[in-house]
Structure 1
Amino acid sequence: MFSSRDAFENDACPVADDLLGQMYRANPNGLSLLVANVAPDIRARLALFCYRRSHLHALAVAIASSCSEWELVNSGGRVGSTLYALSREPARATTTSHGGRKPITLSTKPLSSFAPIVDDELDDEDVSETVTVTA
């Protein structure tokens, strides 16, 4: 069993970057097909690799759902056990339409208020003195 120190020192993605990208972009049905083609020990290490990155957390839980508890604990210790438990929890209902991502909210109030600009009338003489024409 690896210690958490070993996991961070040897923190390299256990699959090719292309495959990881395909998994990231896949729908749930496509993801299960992609994950099925990965060896069980590599799959557990991949789930742990993704779990350590916040933007891949949902992918980690989905991959971990296809792993056994022994595989995850053997590869990640307590973190693997936690990931196994997370992957077995009932799915939380999300109301977002962006693949489970939280919606972005924008402020409806002005960011700051400025004092109104007062137009100062300049005399024609003042303007002609400040502007010099070079030929």
Structure 2
Amino acid sequence: MCSSADAFENDICPVKDDLLGAMYRASEHGLPQLIASVAPDVRAMLALFCYHRSHLHALALSIASSCTERDLVAVGGRVGSTLFALSRNARQPHAPSQHGQRKPITLSTKPLSTFVPLDDLADDEEAALVPA
């Protein structure tokens, strides 16, 4: 585990990928044990790391709820203070990722933009230059 304060600033996950994955998949009963296995300062960095990723917000709140405000503010400043307040107001515990609980992804069915083909543009310009 990385315990340096640079992990937050360099946007590096402060724990191993295996542990982060286990936390992400953990049930609401197993998650507190995994969180408790991480040192308090690293836990604060991990909470802020997860908070910066929208798909990990619920996990960030669960982790932050086990942190002190002092640790979160020391690592994240105002964001840490905000995360502390949000974690105390959170009503739902972290739910494991399941297909039925994911937000739906919507894709556009129309083209993002339309372009006039270059050949047609050249013909129109030539027609405008030729006197009728």
Shorter-chain TM-score range: 0.5 to 0.7
- The structure whose residues are more often helix, as a share, is 2
Distance change (3 Å), C-alpha of 1:104 and 1:92: same
Equivalent position SS for 2:38? coil
Distance 2:41 2:8 in 1: 17
Equivalent position SS for 2:50? helix
Gaps of 5+ in 2: 1-5, 110-132
Correspondence for 2:23: 23
The runs of at least 4 aligned residues of structure 1 exceeding 6 Å deviation read none
The Cα offsets for residues 17-41 of structure 1, whole Å up to 9 and x where unpaired, read as: 0000000000111110000000000
Q: CA deviation at 1:104?
A: 3.8
Distance change (3 Å), C-alpha of 1:42 and 1:100: farther
Distance change (3 Å), C-alpha of 1:71 and 1:105: closer
Correspondence for 1:79: 79
Distance 1:100 1:65 in 2: 26
Gaps of 5+ in 1: 1-5, 112-135
**2:37 counterpart of 1:37:** yes
Is the 2:51–2:57 Cα contact (8 Å) retained in structure 1? yes
What letter is aligned with 1:76? Answer: G
User: TM-score, normalised to structure 1's length?
Assistant: 0.64
What letter is aligned with 1:55? Answer: H
The Cα offsets for residues 70-120 of structure 1, whole Å up to 9 and x where unpaired, read as: 000000000000000000004059xxxx599455499xxxx8xxxxxxxxx
Distance 2:58 2:80 in 1: 15
Correspondence for 2:113: none
Correspondence for 1:63: 63
Distance 1:16 1:105 in 2: 29
**2:48 counterpart of 1:48:** yes
Correspondence for 2:122: none
| Structure whose alpha-carbon radius of gyration is higher | 1
Distance 2:40 2:62 in 1: 14
Distance 1:54 1:89 in 2: 18
